Structure 1
């Protein structure tokens, strides 16, 4: 959630920046309309409190009582306008940093670097689903009978690859002080809204358990962030870093007809996620650190990838800066997004009320919160199968995963 003081003081600048994210800047007019009414009411209430105090000083208890009733009525009305302001403000995205590339869509994204060599085959490479079916490790047909489209069974070595990826990520990240965590996969509405993940445009993407008033998360980020909701850190506790693992659920409401084949875009997938709580002055450096951890994990798998800086029109709702890592997929002949890395500044912290107390002057400020994909398991399995395939239909297992899987290759022995 944006700082209302920033909106008041720099309205035109904030409007310009949210417009660059393809969001209607008139949303801010609604916010300020409710804000003005609320502020006027608060001024009136403060004046009435002064009157009440004066009546009590001269022991005019009858007028003091009448004034108290008037105060109570105005406070109820003020609370309603404060709620309306809050609801309107929750629909406003975070503003991008000044140096983020300006663009209306993914065509405005900027390639920062490309790492690794794309594989060269002397045969036509198969896609991950053809390989997975031939090896007996991916079954989308039976999953469709059981659960519908965009689901899968991972079997045999594919299942082992999943947990090998999880262990590799945890083992590497824990060396850098990340605290391992398995968070809930359900979240209450207020926490989800506070994390900036339940705006009207996002609700279509969410699975909602109406009777229980709960939502299924779309990432471990969504419930790792609120772990410290309504808390105040001591400055010496920061940075605090977590590495989490969870199943994730997305309706893929806006992707009808896209990536319907295989396991690249599905309703349920598992993911390793990094999450950091830091001082505001450290967040840009922490963002680079998280990106470096992502690249280190990709390099462990020896997969060709590129790093993208995401433009204003393509970046996430909560993000002030976003990087993506895209892995090369030989069957498609192009790079596809496998990781994201986001600095949400104090946007999410303000929404779920997470602060820290400075050592120097004991002042309390909002922390900055950042998140980054460790491994999106399904997409990494796609990349491994396609990049490590052989002409004989065997798939070599990346060296970093062989000890976890217990073998060097995947072949159909049936």
Structure 2
């Protein structure tokens, strides 16, 4: 949630952020009103409690006539304090709802607009010249690497099996990602796949993205769509030493309902309900978040270079940001069969939005607790198999193995169709 001090001091910045996202500005006024009403309710409660304490101190020294009046007022005050306390509780709940209705304030320089208003920052790598390219599913089936028919038979649409070299490719890719993360000081982490509602809500996934999340109602738990969620909740309620950023690399299975994507990317493994991913996650001081964001993007690009696929980097427009993100960069790999770039990684600067919800703090130079910033970025995921297979295909249906992945496939440099 956003910083109430920013709201009070500079509400116009919050309104401009809502405008850039293409969302309602009225929620800013709702929050200002809820904040004022809560402060008023707290002020009344504290004043009544102070009077109640003063009466308690006067009572032992009071004469009989005064004591009777004090007892009468004490009785009145008891009811008033109880009502004021209930008003504070109600005002707290109203304020919380109003805060949760506003997404993070976008970072200055973020392109305004919607999904199609991104800005291309750079294109990297030469697109391969492939006549009549096969798509990843045809290649994967030829290699006996991907089996969507049996995935659908077992679990339904948008499920699949990775078999043989397909399984080895994914495991190698994720191990390569973990190895790179460890090289740069990340703590490798295997995270829970199920989290409590407060963990999911704290990271901003139960707002506009709630329809994407699988919920186990009998247990009141949620399946994670990214290890960002358990990694953000890992230090909830704690005060960290952030002399340097605290970085984690989470390996997890991820689950997404893909609500609203009916008919989109139904072929192959581009858009599926279950996949594996290595996610970078960083806690840092707010003033370091911008530079940390660029570092995460650089590490994503380093991984893409290792698997030797052409890609581009885009600056995502404000209206296409998630609830928690103040800014997001996507890396999109070239997919020859589609003749276009497709998103394979993203990295988001969530500033203090998640830290405030999850109460993750650090101590500043004066020893005072301050809210930590959080950032995340995908380092490798199942979807990467799509551009890897397609960009390295050969006319006979075989696929060249990028040099960095060869050790994970028994040293093979080419995968032959079966």
TM-score, normalization: structure 1?
A: 0.95
User: Quick one: which of 150, 168, 174 aligns to 2:158?
Assistant: 150
Report SS of the residue matched to 2:318. coil
Residue 96, structure 1, aligned to residue 106, structure 2: yes
Structure 1 contact 90–193 (Cα < 8 Å) conserved = no
Residue 85, structure 1, aligned to residue 95, structure 2: yes
Residue in 2 that maps onto 1:125? 133
User: Quick one: which of 204, 211, 230 aligns to 2:211?
Assistant: 204
User: Quick one: which of 228, 245, 258 aligns to 2:235?
Assistant: 228
For 2:82 and 2:5, the matched residues in 1 are separated by 26
Structure 2 contact 393–399 (Cα < 8 Å) conserved = yes
Residue in 2 that maps onto 1:362? 367
Report SS of the residue matched to 1:100. coil
Residue in 2 that maps onto 1:171? 179
Structure 1 contact 18–94 (Cα < 8 Å) conserved = no
Residue in 2 that maps onto 1:181? 189
1:385 shift after superposition: 0.7
Report SS of the residue matched to 1:177. coil
| Superposition pairs of residues 56-95 of structure 1, within 5 angstroms | 56-59=56-59, 62=71, 63-64=73-74, 66-95=76-105
1:347 shift after superposition: 0.5
User: Quick one: which of 118, 121, 124 aligns to 1:112?
Assistant: 121
1:275 shift after superposition: 0.4
1:66 shift after superposition: 4.2
For 1:408 and 1:76, the matched residues in 2 are separated by 70
Residue 396, structure 1, aligned to residue 404, structure 2: no
For 1:30 and 1:205, the matched residues in 2 are separated by 27
Deviates more, 1:343-352 or 1:43-52: 43-52
For 1:173 and 1:195, the matched residues in 2 are separated by 22
Deviates more, 1:282-291 or 1:11-20: 11-20
Residue in 2 that maps onto 1:299? 305
Q: Deviations over 1:73-95 (max 9, x none)?
A: 32122112211220221121001
1:65 shift after superposition: 5.3
Report SS of the residue matched to 2:346. strand
Report SS of the residue matched to 1:108. coil
Q: Deviations over 1:129-149 (max 9, x none)?
A: 111112211111111111111
Residue in 2 that maps onto 1:159? 167
1:293 shift after superposition: 0.5
1:9 shift after superposition: 2.5
For 1:235 and 1:29, the matched residues in 2 are separated by 35
Residue in 2 that maps onto 1:349? 355
Structure 1 contact 53–64 (Cα < 8 Å) conserved = no
For 2:389 and 2:80, the matched residues in 1 are separated by 70
For 2:79 and 2:238, the matched residues in 1 are separated by 34
Structure 2: segments with no counterpart, 5+ residues = 60-66
Residue in 2 that maps onto 1:408? 413
1:40 shift after superposition: 1.5
Report SS of the residue matched to 1:253. coil
User: Quick one: which of 368, 379, 382 aligns to 1:374?
Assistant: 379
Residue in 2 that maps onto 1:288? 294
Residue in 1 that maps onto 2:334? 328
For 1:192 and 1:33, the matched residues in 2 are separated by 27
Report SS of the residue matched to 2:361. strand
Structure 1: segments with no counterpart, 5+ residues = none
User: Quick one: which of 263, 266, 270 aligns to 2:272?
Assistant: 266
For 2:163 and 2:414, the matched residues in 1 are separated by 15
Report SS of the residue matched to 1:371. strand
Report which of the two structures shows the higher radius of gyration computed on alpha carbons: 2
Residue in 1 that maps onto 2:257? 251
Residue in 2 that maps onto 1:20? 20
Residue 214, structure 1, aligned to residue 221, structure 2: yes
TM-score, normalization: structure 2?
A: 0.94
Report SS of the residue matched to 1:111. strand
Residue in 2 that maps onto 1:277? 283
Aligned pairs, number:
407
Structure 2 contact 148–161 (Cα < 8 Å) conserved = yes
For 1:43 and 1:369, the matched residues in 2 are separated by 33
Residue in 1 that maps onto 2:62? none
For 2:197 and 2:123, the matched residues in 1 are separated by 40
